[in-house]
Structure 1
Amino acid sequence: MGTAERRGAPGESVAERSQARRHKQAPDRDISGTERTAGRGGDEPRQDYRPLWVEEPAHRHPLPDPVRRAAVRAVLVISVTLIQAMVAFLCTLAGSWLAFPMVISGVASTVVATWAVVDVWVTRQVWNQRYGVVSEPSSTARALRRERRARRRQERVSVGDQERIRRTGGAGRLSHS
């Protein structure tokens, strides 16, 4: 707010300036528009209640529970590993006897943290393989199956024709060579 706005117009009283300032302030969130104007005689309409935020639908589905559990485990193990690495570094700088055991446990924790990350990946793949596949066949898969069935049917018909010709002893053939 600039100096000219603070001081107001030369003929403006202090009461008028404070009332103007009051109207510029943010509206009360817990009072509806009709209750706000009722106290002032309804001389000035105010904005109705506006929510603080608008819920938007999530673009992605949340993680399945087994994958979420594995991810939480991995985050906890990785955080403990990072803390151990920091403590090992600080113990090494201080020349403490704890430096060697912390480095050894840090190496072991790194192996466990790697396993935890791989566990998240494997759990996610397994969940997608079991539950993530939509059971509706796509139109291309349906067309391929239809073509495959027609080919098998044609092969059965041709094999049946050959069997019938063999059973009749060659009768019906155009040539006997």
Structure 2
Amino acid sequence: MGTAQRRGTPGTDGERQEAPNHRPLWVEEPARRRRLPDPVRTAAVRAVLIIAVTLIQAVIAFLCTMAGSWLAFPMVLSSVASTVVATWGALDVWVTRQVWKQRHGVVSAPSSTARSLRRERRAARRRARAAQRAQQRIRRQGGTGQLSHP
């Protein structure tokens, strides 16, 4: 038997066996922080795009000024206008985040209605997950060898 067959080249029986020290390329880890809410994330993406365009305009305006091009003056004017829009975009993210927190966040009073409602929803989700796990456990066991009642 040749060395190619022992190493498990394609087309041999060794193809079905994995290498003994196989490591995955990456390991999934839970996120440290929660994802931003959709409206806030949308505003943030918009702000980043506007700021990127503003920076590109500023660089082009600077290079046109250094080169003495006729395009320098219009580019400087558009950069100033774009800076105002970029500032608005950054403020939009902040305001959208504050509004979202106010509408969906927890009021920091112990008798908060929002907190009690959220607590009830969490308890209901926990009960639903426990019932689902119990159903899956029953399906896996298939009911064979089990008594009909404890």
Counterpart in the other structure of 2:40: 67
Counterpart in the other structure of 2:20: 47
Counterpart in the other structure of 2:103: 130
- 1:97 Cα shift? 0.7
Distance in 2 (alpha carbons) for counterparts of 1:96 and 1:34: 65
Say if 2:80 is the partner of 1:116.
Answer: no
Q: Size of the alignment, in residue pairs?
A: 105
**Identity rate of aligned residues, in percent?**
69
Distance in 1 (alpha carbons) for counterparts of 2:85 and 2:107: 34
**Which structure 1 residue ranges, 5 or more long, are not aligned?**
1-18, 38-45, 143-177
TM-score, normalised via structure 1 length: 0.51
Say if 2:75 is the partner of 1:97.
Answer: no
Structure number, greater radius of gyration: 1
Which one-letter code corresponds to 1:102 in the other structure? M
Counterpart in the other structure of 2:58: 85
Structure 1 vs Structure 2 CA RMSD: 3.1
Quickly say closer, same or farther: Cα 1:52–1:134, change in 2 above 3 A. Answer: farther
Of 60-69 and 125-134, deviating more is 125-134
- 1:51 Cα shift? 2.3
Q: How does 1:12-23 map to 2 (within 5 A)?
A: none
Any idea what the Cα deviations from partners look like across 1:18-54, whole Å, max 9, x if unmatched? Answer: x7xx98xxx99xxxx99448xxxxxxxx626432221
Distance in 2 (alpha carbons) for counterparts of 1:78 and 1:62: 22
Any idea what the Cα deviations from partners look like across 1:46-87, whole Å, max 9, x if unmatched? Answer: 626432221111111111110011001101110110011011
Which one-letter code corresponds to 1:56 in the other structure? E
Quickly say closer, same or farther: Cα 1:111–1:66, change in 2 above 3 A. Answer: same
Distance in 2 (alpha carbons) for counterparts of 1:98 and 1:59: 47
**Which structure 2 residue ranges, 5 or more long, are not aligned?**
113-150
Any idea what the Cα deviations from partners look like across 1:134-157, whole Å, max 9, x if unmatched? Answer: 69x63xx59xxxxxxxxxxxxxxx
Which one-letter code corresponds to 1:68 in the other structure? R
